[in-house]
Structure 1
Amino acid sequence: MAGATQQPRYHALYRACIKDAALAGGELMRAALARALQELPDRAAAMPDVVDRNLLLEAVNVLREQQAALGAGFPQALLTEFAQAIAGDRVASLSFDTLPLLGDEQVQENADLVHAGQELEQAVRPQLAELERVLLAAQLTPEGGQQRHPLRPEVYARAMHRLARVSPVSPAVRRRWLRYLPPLMAPELAQALHGTAQRLQAELADHIELPAVHPQDEMDEATQLTIRALRKLLSGAPGDAADEGVIVFSDTGDSDFSHTVPAALEMVQDMRKVDQLLLQLRQRQAAMPGRERDSLAAFRRALRHEARRPAQALGLEVVHLMIDNLAEEPRLLPAVRNVVRDLEPPLLRLALVDPRFFSDRSHPARRLLEQITQRSLAWSSPQEPGFSTFMDGLQQATEALLDAGGTGPETFEIALSALQEAWDEAQPRGRRNRERAVRALMRAEQRNLLAGRIAQQILERPDAAQAPREALAFLTGPWTQVMAQARLADMAGEEDPGGGWWVVQSVLWSVQPALAARVAGQHRTLVARIDAGLQSIDHLPADTDRWQNLLSALRDLALASGAGTPARSREAETAPETTNTWLAPLEMHESGFIPDSAMTPETSAPEADALGSQELEVGAFVDLMADGWERWQLTWASPHGLLFMFTHASGAARSMTRRKLNSMLAQGTLRLVSAHPVVDGALDAVARAAWRNTA
């Protein structure tokens, strides 16, 4: 199988396939629409319910009117969904945390969307499996499994949803489009997936080995959760608990948490039974090494007997599924997955008495689980420095949590505080490095923003209209940094601190034949001013010399040329390139800056398309390609989005411009590991299972 270091060389081909799939979306949609206009009237005629029949016929008539617009708009909708899938964006309407916010119409619309996506996936399953085998072999799929890639049928269904939302149609028409159109894409999508798989396999045949075919994991089908039940669990709405599995909150009781503890707590006669079950579980694990799963299953069964209401059983099921998802999460190292599995008993116990864990992101148990899983993503291998220290603190806190006898959130709060204190003490150097790097980058961004405004003022000057572009490159590049630095350092409020505008005028006049004679006697003063200015921003001496030589040649040429003749110089071919964002050497050192000029011709190509413009959020983990893949976390983004800083578990920092970041994303030398908390993903998987059951 291809090694991880080979992945970037395949990435350009993969991106080309994705772009081609988006471009082909127009033909795919037009074929699906033609099929819909032919088949749906007959399907409507067979409906016994006259209301449903008329609504579907109305949807067909509107579809006929909007046929051209849908065919033209689908490629862009598809490209947008591809980009979001690559970036790891959560589908907000289907996520666990947003379920209580959905109205009945949204629930039905999303259920239709999920059902249509399921039908489409079922129809193209062989071709999808073929493509996913190739993607897995070439390591082209996002971290976390081969089912998380942009070409999956679910993304095509979401693109249809996106397009329908912006179409001038009624909700009833939109719902029927979502219900019937995605499955009708199946013939063309199957052909497209097969073609993409064959294209990739042909190009990479000498470098990859296809994995064996395994049955698809159908774990989601094991649960009978529904969206209705989950929404009630998250909202705590009162209702018929016996029928709906609703948790009823009580304002009375002996607990310190009486304002949030469910009435079901009253039915648990003696919570010490639960503590005894947990003690028996640990004793059984100690007596039977290697039998943890068996004893844990026995503990879950025993806890279910303690659940006196359907709502409690539902809470236990959600915790169990969430932990199962986390314990199978490939982004978590095995040792961390084991710790997560160890946390299932206390979380199950908590679910019986305090269901806020599901709806309150600030709940200590939720925060503890998020801290454990998110911080662990800083390491991609247990052999990396710092991981053993991380695990020592984690295991100690877990042991203390398991030994505690409380059933409320207090024990999780204590464990969380102990973990954060241990982790903070383990990385004092890293914290200081980050603070120093952020200060350097903040200075750089402030100066660059001011330099950009000054550059615009220079270009708007009348005497700049005929100036050689090489001279303008100097003035709007390094010299604007000098002027911005002088202005930021000026405490007296001078009109032209440092005399920067005098240099601007002198350079512009000295390089134009019609004006050069006016400043012919100021050559030495100009050279000295430029030297002093560039030195004030720690400009590299070698670059300073090249600029001075270039400007001197332009001045000589202007004096030798006739009036009105534009000055041009051979030295212009070797003029140092300027970038929009510049950092001084000390700022580069303190922040680990990767300059844009370090990009190779292949990686510096502009990537302005939607796939190359992913918005990473602070906290996201990425792998960066250096000598090999290294795990970094985006810990800071500048207020104006010019600069981004990543930190390593060792405390080292790296920073780059937005242009560099997008280029590395596009070329595959920077790949997203996790854009959102892993716990959110595990709970979203529970919600997806419920959506499937509801659909």
Structure 2
Amino acid sequence: AALEATGSEFLGLLDRLQRGESDLTLGGERLDLPSGGGDTGNLLRALSRSAASKRIGAFDAALIDVVATLFDYIFDDPRVPALMKGLIGRLQIPLLKLALADREFFSNRHHPARRLVNALAQSATDWEGAFGTGTGLYRIAEELVVRIQSDFSDGTGLFAVCLKELEDFLARKEHEADGRTAPIVAQLENRERLEIASAMATESVAAHAANGSLPESVRQFLAGAWVEVLTRAALDGGQDGALWRCALATMEDLVWSVAPKAGAGERQRLVRIIPTLLRSLREGLDRSGMETADQETFFAGLVRLHAAAVKAGMVAGTVRPEAAPAPAATTQPRKQEAAVPRFAVAAEDAGESGPLAGLARGCWLNVRDASGVVRRVRLSWVSPARTMYLFTNHQGERALALSRPELERRLAEGSAALAQERPLFDRVVEGVLARLQSQEESEA
């Protein structure tokens, strides 16, 4: 009768298979195995079906079948590029040896070998464009696989070292990708600051601009030119800065100055504040870039409004004459400077909730464009106030910037969705367990 191979004989066979040797025998039986020692051919499946398999102990044979089934699932997974499947396939023998010696291989999601396979598969899946042998990812993956094939004996140490090297490589690539997006990030940060500053300014003048008792020219001035002044003040020093406080105080003085003056005290106060008011108005308008001619038109009208305010307070029932409407503010276009100081403003509802729940920097989304093409993109940057989101591919290229409302809309309608695929090894282990359970139920 044929003798069962000893444990040492079987492990010796695996060592030779790992080195890529051919013309092997086990217990006197020749192994009929495909050449190449791996790639996307299931070497373990061929081993379990060879004539020599009857020389293998029952437990080892069962374990070979389980690991072979794992690789069946890996090779059939459409999400993993074929070249990466080939590299992972060359780890069949080392992974089998690990499974034979380490019972936690199947149950421990944090096992270094499992994490390495997951990282290899996921990084290749996230790669946009052709994943070829010339890519940096392929080169380092091949280097690690060759080292494992050459040096692995037992234990998880070598897998842990290789995992660390791969993670360091991916971290460097992510850092390089972030560097490529830096100019776009600077533009988006400045855009967000400008939008928030403008919103603050508009809100600050809203009550006065809507006050029907104010002269129409003043209301137009506040809603136009003075919003620009407040916006610039917010950008230059924030809402706690001296420029912002001065601009608000100047606005209040302006509103008071054109109201009817009821008595001598109010008229005397108006005379006292006019020089400071005019100076503050001019300084603010100069900073905002309002043309000198437009300023003079406004100030000429303001003189008439002040005269009317005094007269209206002295003569009961006098209707205040309206000055000519203030000209539209013709300001010089503001350049979005590269280093605008931050200011302490928190956008309302900026916390991630609703459609954006679970969204964090580094996560991946599948985004469908108008033509129906789906791209896999990484959330590379979130603006300080969480109003802008920048997505790129793994290389930090093909940037896609979305405002918060636009991103919420896309997520709600389904044209964008979080890519929540489970790690490759977790998926295949679940598939194998489900298959084994189904077999047990059919045999019962």
Taking structure 1 as the reference length, the TM-score comes to 0.41
Q: Secondary structure at the match of 2:391?
A: strand
Please tell me whether the aligned partners of residues 224 and 328 of structure 2 are also in contact (alpha carbons under 8 angstroms). no
Residue aligning to 1:346? 94
- Report the secondary structure of 1:403's partner residue: helix
Whether the 8 Å CA contact 1:401–1:412 is kept in 2: the answer is yes
1:620 and 2:364 are equivalent in the alignment? yes
Q: Map 1:484-495; keep pairs closer than 5 Å.
A: 485-487=236-238
Per-residue deviation at 1:551? 13
Alignment of 1:576-591 (within 5 A): 584-586=336-338
Equivalent residue number for residue 502 of structure 1: 246
1:644 is the counterpart of 2:389: yes
Match of 2:420 among 663, 675, 680: 675
CA distance in 2, matches of 1:531, 1:470: 14
Superposition deviation, residue 455 in structure 1: 6.2
Find the counterpart in structure 2 of residue 369 from structure 1.
117
Q: 2:15 aligns with which of 249, 266, 275?
A: 275
In structure 1, what is the Cα distance between the partners aligned to 2:14 and 2:140? 27
Unaligned runs of 5+ in 2: 1-5, 24-31, 262-269, 309-318, 341-352
Which structure shows the bigger proportion of residues in helix conformation? 1
The letter for the 2-side match of 1:658 is R
The question of whether the paired residues in 1 share the 8 Å contact of 2:233 and 2:247 is answered with: no
Task: Name the structure 2 match of 1:396.
Answer: 143
Change in CA separation of 1:457 and 1:630 when aligned onto 2, cut-off 3 Å: closer
Q: Closer, same or farther in 2 for the Cα pair 1:367/1:482, shift >3 Å?
A: farther
Structure 2 residue 380 is the aligned partner of structure 1 residue 635: yes
The separation in 2 between residues aligned to 1:454 and 1:625, in whole angstroms, is: 34
Q: 2:186, 2:338 within 8 Å by CA — same for their partners in 1?
A: no
C-alpha distance in structure 2 between counterparts of 1:285 and 1:464, whole Å:
85
* Residue 501 to residue 394, structure 1, CA distance change in 2 (3 Å): same
Cα 1:470/1:430, change in 2 over 3 Å: farther
Q: Is the 8 A contact 1:634 1:645 kept in 2?
A: yes
- The structural deviation recorded for 1:382 is 0.9
Q: Measured at CA, do residues 528 and 409 of structure 1 come closer, stay the same or move farther in structure 2, by a change above 3 Å?
A: same
Q: Report deviation, 1:387.
A: 6.5
Aligned-residue Cα RMSD (Å) equals 5.7
Unaligned runs of 5+ in 1: 1-266, 489-495, 535-543, 576-582, 589-608
Distance between the aligned counterparts of 1:552 and 1:332, measured in 2? 69
Matched residues, percent identical?
Answer: 19
Amino acid at match of 1:661: L
| Structure-2 residue corresponding to 1:380 | 128
Q: Which amino acid aligns with 2:120?
A: I
Tell me which of 265, 270, 283 is aligned to 1:528: 283
> What's the offset of the Cα at 1:364?
1.8
Alignment partner, residue 405 of structure 1: 152
- Distance between the aligned counterparts of 2:229 and 2:33, measured in 1? 67
Instruction: Find the aligned partners of 1:512 and 1:692 in 2 and give their Cα distance.
Output: 82
Letter in 2 for 1:400: R
Q: Which residue of 1 aligns with 2:3?
A: none
Query: Structure 1 residues 335, 487: CA separation in 2 closer, same or farther (over 3 Å shift)?
Result: same
CA contact (8 A) 1:370 1:677 kept: no
Partner AA of 1:340 in structure 2 = I
Counterpart for residue 153 of structure 1: none
SS of residue paired to 1:645: strand
CA contact (8 A) 2:128 2:376 kept: yes
1:590-609 map, 5 Å: none
CA-to-aligned-CA distance 1:177-206 (integer Å, 9 cap, x gap): xxxxxxxxxxxxxxxxxxxxxxxxxxxxxx
- Aligned partner letter, 1:403: S
**Equivalent in the alignment of 2:407:** 661
Q: CA deviation at 1:663?
A: 3.6
Amino acid in structure 2 at the alignment position of 1:372: L
Question: Which whole-Å CA distance do the structure 1 matches of 2:337 and 2:184 have between them?
Answer: 13
Q: Indicate conservation of the 8 Å contact 2:87/2:142, yes or no.
A: yes
Instruction: Return the offset for 1:409.
Output: 1.3
Deviation at 1:430, TM superposition (A): 3.0
8 A Cα contact 1:550 1:571, kept in partner: no
Which one-letter code corresponds to 2:338 in the other structure? L
Secondary structure at the aligned position of 1:632 is classed as strand
Higher relative contact order (CA 8 A, sep 6+): 1
Q: Structure 1 residues 685 and 475 mapped into 2: Cα distance closer, same or farther (>3 Å)?
A: farther
Query: Residue 359 of structure 1: CA displacement?
Result: 4.0
Q: For the residues of structure 2 that align with 1:337 and 1:482, how far apart are their CA atoms?
A: 58
Give CA deviations for 1:261-301 in whole Å, capped at 9, x if unaligned. xxxxxx95563343234446778878469995264412355
Following the alignment from structure 2 to structure 1, what is the Cα–Cα distance between the partners of residues 80 and 431?
18
| Structure 2 contact 380–392 (Cα < 8 Å) conserved | yes
Shift of 1:438: 6.9
Mapped partners of 2:377, 2:296: distance in 1: 42
Inter-partner Cα distance in structure 1 for 2:299 and 2:128:
54
Q: Quote the offset at 1:307 in angstroms.
A: 6.7
SS in 1 for 2:78: coil
Measure the CA separation in 2 of the matches of 1:279 and 1:555.
93
C-alpha spacing 1:480/1:329, structure 2 compared with 1 (3 Å): farther
Q: CA deviation at 1:443?
A: 8.9
Query: Equivalents in 2 of 1:375, 1:483: separation in Å?
Result: 43
Task: Decide whether aligned partners of structure 1 residues 569 and 529 sit closer, same or farther in structure 2, where only a CA change above 3 A counts.
Answer: closer
Say which SS state the counterpart of residue 338 (structure 1) adopts.
Answer: helix
- For 2:122 and 2:114, locate their aligned partners in 1 and report how far apart those are by CA, in whole Å: 12
Per the TM alignment, residue 510 of structure 1 is displaced from its structure 2 partner at its CA by 4.3
2:320, 2:71 → 1: CA distance?
Answer: 80
Aligned-partner SS, 1:379: coil
With the length of structure 2 as denominator, give the TM-score of the two structures.
Answer: 0.60
Q: Which among 208, 225, 233 is matched to residue 482 of structure 1?
A: 233
Structure 2 CA distance for partners of 1:476 and 1:545, relative to 1, 3 Å: closer
DSSP-derived class of the 2:408 partner? helix
